[in-house]
Amino acid sequence: MRHNTPIIPFLLYSLLSLAVLSLSGCDSQPSRPVTDTSAPAADVHAKELYQAGDYYAAAEEYLALAKSDPANEFKYQLAAADAMIKNEEIDRAQQLIDFLPPEKLSNVQGVLVTIYKAQILLARDDPQAAYALLDISLPSEASRTVLAKFHETRATILQQEKEYFSAARERFLLNSYLDDAQEISENYQNLWQNLSRLSAAELDTYRAGDTGIPGSWLELAIINKTMLQNTVNLEASLATWQQRYPDHPALVDIIPQIIESSIQLAEQPSQVALLLPFTERYNDASIAIREGFMAAWYDSRDEKPIIRIYNTDTDNVVARYAQAITEGADFVVGPLEKPAISKLIEQSDITVTTLVLNQYDGEYDIANISSPSPLPAVIQFGLSPEDEARQVAERAWFDGRARAISITTGDERSRRINDAFASHWQQLGGTLLEHVSIGHDVKELSGPVKGALNIDQSEQRSKTLRSRLQRSLKTETRRRQDVDLIFMAVPPAIARQLVPQLRYYGTQNISLYSISNIYTGNINTREDSDINGVLFVDMPWMIDPENEYSPLNRMIERYRKPAQAAYKRLYAFGIDAYRLIPKLAELSLQPTQQYEGKTGYIKIDEQGRVQRRLIWAQFLDGKPELVDTSTTDFN
């Protein structure tokens, strides 16, 4: 790895001298009473087994103790249930707990039963029921150990539910009931991890109120969120914070971690692995992405990393990823195929930051992957047509439209596009009057168009009236009047036939919107004059005239093969994939920041997903002409 900026680690060195500070010195921490740590000799061995992590043996030992010591039978059975849960013997623990007679348990034992039932529900993927179970009052005689179990269980549930601030608050409460130095340190780490998942704006909001967590922790988290990528400002802010809180427990472990993270962020990858599928189905697409990626590499004036390219598909993705890491990659771009991404995430260890070139649709919570750097372990960057459909819905609503018809082709991809548009449109408050699915045969469009506009019903009424009167009548076919927007997601060949038919049936005052697939990327005034008036969303690389004459575009056009003309958007995808690498720290840590890329205006959300805002054009005289860019704002 190389450094872009010099790092002055004086603060890190000064912090090492603080290792002698007591962890119990945190401001606002309640004092801990001295507890009697002695235990009956009979259960010492069971406790040792439990502490050593041999939960199965500990459970067996506790069950034996329950049989041999009837006076403490319930105590040992509860201890056995605890060990079984730790050992993931959930059904066995459930049976043991169900066997306990509630009327014979003490108040504290009843609380333990509730805690263990909640842990069992959590293990069975029902965190909401688990949390509801713990909405109880604790008896005054509850021991520190029981209180620790209670707060730790609640913290674990809240973290799984991504209620990070509430989880951090439970961790702070938990610390009051811990005595072991290692447990205290681990609990502070968990508290910090939860605070670190909150945005700077969220932290600032919590800091302004009485939230149950000292302001010192929230201030430190805000410093971490806002200054991590600026080492000089970070060190100055940490030094000031340290002066204000000289006995804070974060000084021992957490602040050195913050400084180390800042150092890592200042480093840029020295070797990047590009994983693409150069197979028959994806070969042309992969070539376009590769050429865009390498064009951006050649165009860069910064120090360049080594680029290694690996032919990677779903079958070999785990092996190729491991090979890339073994050969020195400290950053990975790819894979491209969704099944390959799922396999990589679910079956491989992500050991370096990985920018996958599609969206992950699996059930694995990638936010919980242990990241090798302050950045998310997996960052998702894709050209999603569903995202385009949602942006069309927003633009149409912004334009004052309210009642829509959706027209798409009948394939699975079009179904997803329509679902994305319909869902977002209705969330905004719009009404979807009808969805029409058409085939790819341009000669068979009349029927669906008539059906969408209720022309067929108007014609049928005229026919019925003539039949009843038994004479010729002059009638006027009328379309439906309740629609003010037609959303289309069809390829250019179909759009060039569809739009004239829509206009023929009197839709001149109905706005037509489309996603980017309506435009080939090549100006064709003769054929595209048939889709004049259609508003569509696309990436700047395709419709912003400034890109047409840029040196980067000229470089790509010079070497591009004619067969690659249909993949212009993927060249831009490759360009942005490379150019995002040095900007990931700023974009990931500052969710309000955005980057003006070739594929759109880019930001990265809290889950590591790249969000794109595209720009708008309208076909006029057979050419796309830019319209206002007011809706490129993410807000």
Over residues 498-528, the pLDDT tens digits come to 999 999 888 899 999 999 999 999 899 999 9
Query: What pLDDT score was predicted for residue 416?
Result: 95
Give the containing element (helix H, strand E) for 409: strand 403-409
Reading the block at residue 160, the tokens are 């799984």
Query: What pLDDT score was predicted for residue 28?
Result: 43
Is the distance from CB of 488 to CB of 514 less than 8 angstroms? yes
Q: What is the mean pLDDT of residues 549-558?
A: 82
Residue that the structure tokens 């890339």 belong to:
324
Other CB atoms closer than 10 Å to residue 38's CB: what's the count? 7
Q: Which residues pair with 596 in a beta bridge?
A: 601
Say whether pLDDT at 444 is over 60: yes
Q: What is the mean pLDDT of residues 140-160?
A: 96
Q: What is the mean pLDDT of residues 139-155?
A: 96
- C-alpha–C-alpha distance, residues 379 and 584, integer Å: 9
- C-alpha–C-alpha distance, residues 2 and 96, integer Å: 57
Query: What pLDDT score was predicted for residue 565?
Result: 65
Reading the block at residue 512, the tokens are 């037509």
Query: Confidence band (pLDDT; 50, 70, 90) for 31?
Result: very low
Reading the block at residue 622, the tokens are 């057979």
Is the distance from CB of 566 to CB of 540 less than 8 angstroms? no
Query: Confidence band (pLDDT; 50, 70, 90) for 20?
Result: very low
For residue range 210-232, list pLDDT tens digits in order: 788 999 999 999 999 888 878 88
Task: Name the residue type at position 558.
Answer: R
- C-alpha–C-alpha distance, residues 160 and 118, integer Å: 13
Q: Which residues contact 556 (CB under 8 A, 6 or more apart)?
A: 291, 292, 295, 571
Query: What pLDDT score was predicted for residue 11?
Result: 40
Query: What pLDDT score was predicted for residue 461?
Result: 54
Other CB atoms closer than 10 Å to residue 30's CB: what's the count? 10
Q: What is the mean pLDDT of residues 165-174?
A: 96
CA distances from 38 to 35, 44, 66, 127, 183 (A): 9, 9, 19, 35, 19
Ordered structural domains, the chain, with CATH: 39-246 (1.25.40), 267-380 (3.40.50.2300), 385-539+614-632 (3.40.50.2300)
CA distances from 357 to 326, 375, 488, 528, 593 (A): 21, 17, 26, 31, 21
- The answer to which of 8-17, 378-387, 500-509, 556-565 has the lowest mean pLDDT is 8-17
Cis peptide bond N-terminal to 246, omega within 30:
no
Higher-pLDDT residue of 489, 362: 489
Is the distance from CB of 341 to CB of 318 less than 8 angstroms? no
Query: What pLDDT score was predicted for residue 37?
Result: 41
Query: Confidence band (pLDDT; 50, 70, 90) for 361?
Result: confident
Say whether pLDDT at 1 is over 50: no
What is the chain's mean pLDDT, rounded?
A: 87
Q: What is the mean pLDDT of residues 407-415?
A: 93
Say whether pLDDT at 635 is over 60: no
- The answer to which of 80-94, 301-315, 438-452 has the lowest mean pLDDT is 438-452
Q: Distance of alpha carbon 240 from its chain centroid, rounded?
A: 34
The percent of residues above 90 in pLDDT, for the chain, comes to 68
Query: Confidence band (pLDDT; 50, 70, 90) for 188?
Result: very high
Q: Which residues pair with 626 in a beta bridge?
A: 617
Say whether pLDDT at 24 is over 50: no
Query: Confidence band (pLDDT; 50, 70, 90) for 369?
Result: confident
- The pTM (predicted TM-score) of the whole model is 0.73
Which three-class secondary structure state does DSSP give residue 405?
strand
DSSP structural state of residue 305: P
Query: Confidence band (pLDDT; 50, 70, 90) for 608?
Result: confident
- C-alpha–C-alpha distance, residues 362 and 343, integer Å: 9
Reading the block at residue 64, the tokens are 């034996």
Task: Name the residue type at position 94.
Answer: Q
Nearest to 382 by CA among 281, 289, 291: 289
- C-alpha–C-alpha distance, residues 214 and 390, integer Å: 41
Other CB atoms closer than 10 Å to residue 256's CB: what's the count? 19
Nearest to 454 by CA among 430, 481, 435: 481
* 3-state DSSP percent of the chain in helix, strand and coil, to 5: 55, 10, 30
Task: Name the residue type at position 418.
Answer: N
Query: What pLDDT score was predicted for residue 504?
Result: 87
- C-alpha–C-alpha distance, residues 146 and 108, integer Å: 8
Query: What pLDDT score was predicted for residue 261?
Result: 83
Query: What pLDDT score was predicted for residue 21?
Result: 36
Q: What is the mean pLDDT of residues 405-424?
A: 95
Is the distance from CB of 539 to CB of 598 less than 8 angstroms? yes
- C-alpha–C-alpha distance, residues 300 and 237, integer Å: 33
At residue 138's C-alpha, the angle toward residues 75 and 122, to 5°, is 75
- C-alpha–C-alpha distance, residues 1 and 442, integer Å: 56
Residues in the chain: 635
- The answer to which of 56-65, 355-364, 534-543, 570-579 has the lowest mean pLDDT is 355-364
Task: Name the residue type at position 567.
Answer: Y
Say whether pLDDT at 458 is over 80: no
Q: Distance of alpha carbon 386 from its chain centroid, rounded?
A: 16
307 exposure class (CB count in 10 Å sphere: 0-12, 13-18, 19+):
middle
Which three-class secondary structure state does DSSP give residue 613?
strand
Higher-pLDDT residue of 518, 559: 518
Beta sheet of 535-538, edge-to-edge order: 431-438, 403-409, 485-489, 511-514, 535-538, 615-620, 623-626
Q: Which residues contact 238 (CB under 8 A, 6 or more apart)?
A: 11, 223, 255, 258, 259
Residue that the structure tokens 């794109």 belong to:
612
Q: Output phi, psi for 194, to 5 deg.
A: -70, -45
Query: What pLDDT score was predicted for residue 450?
Result: 81
Query: What pLDDT score was predicted for residue 9?
Result: 41
For residue range 244-286, list pLDDT tens digits in order: 999 999 999 899 989 988 887 778 899 999 999 999 899 999 9
Query: What pLDDT score was predicted for residue 471?
Result: 62
Reading the block at residue 270, the tokens are 């020295």
Say whether pLDDT at 39 is over 60: no
At residue 106's C-alpha, the angle toward residues 105 and 107, to 5°, is 120
- C-alpha–C-alpha distance, residues 323 and 312, integer Å: 11
